[in-house]
Structure 1
């Protein structure tokens, strides 16, 4: 049972860190290079499949880590527990910071006619995204330590 939890925690934190890293490395620079109207259109398209999938992966990984910390005990407990906290942080940053920005961008009906009060969300979205990427990468590192310790 604990081995399966470790595998799930490693897999989930690896997918989370990998997806967030790929977005930071490639998608964000591309979005910043676009004119605002093109960015809004692209952002609306990009978010369609992330939203139902990534929250489930992050929450599932968090639960796997928490259970692994409790049931694994010993040298696994501290790194797995810390990884669970970091993944909870990824979820918190996503839901409290990035998702509200995503909703604002998705609410734009015509990217060629932006609302008068429009402010470009890309710099703020990037800052929050880089924070959650760092949290996810650190969680993956801690899960690797836990797996090697167990």
Structure 2
């Protein structure tokens, strides 16, 4: 698992957790063994400085990042294939496992979702009250009698 900490366009940090599958190219096994001491650390270091990660991701909104994470992974895969191919490694696949926004952003998003849910419930209750009032006016019966009939 690889973790990248990135600063977004509104000075909020985002962690991108990714999983990278790689293998040694048989014809370049000597390069793979002698060129890099620790390939996992080297791949992680390159992952942090891939131009798409440094240039495009900070300009995206959080929603865009979630929607386009496959495109970001594909672009990173192409860049890493070029770089690590020189050292005898084939990058097979990159999967963005998770995108974790700053804790303050997660709290704000949860509050917005909670308020939106409460607004939805409030709207439904107001609609039911309005419909009860319409029935009451149309039947010229008191609301109390309507309540007892519907229960």
TM-score grouping bracket, smaller chain normalisation: under 0.3
Greater strand percent: which structure?
A: 2
TM-score by length of 2: 0.24
Select the structure of larger CA radius of gyration. Answer: 2
Greater helix percent: which structure?
A: 1
Higher relative contact order (CA 8 A, sep 6+): 1
TM-score by length of 1: 0.24
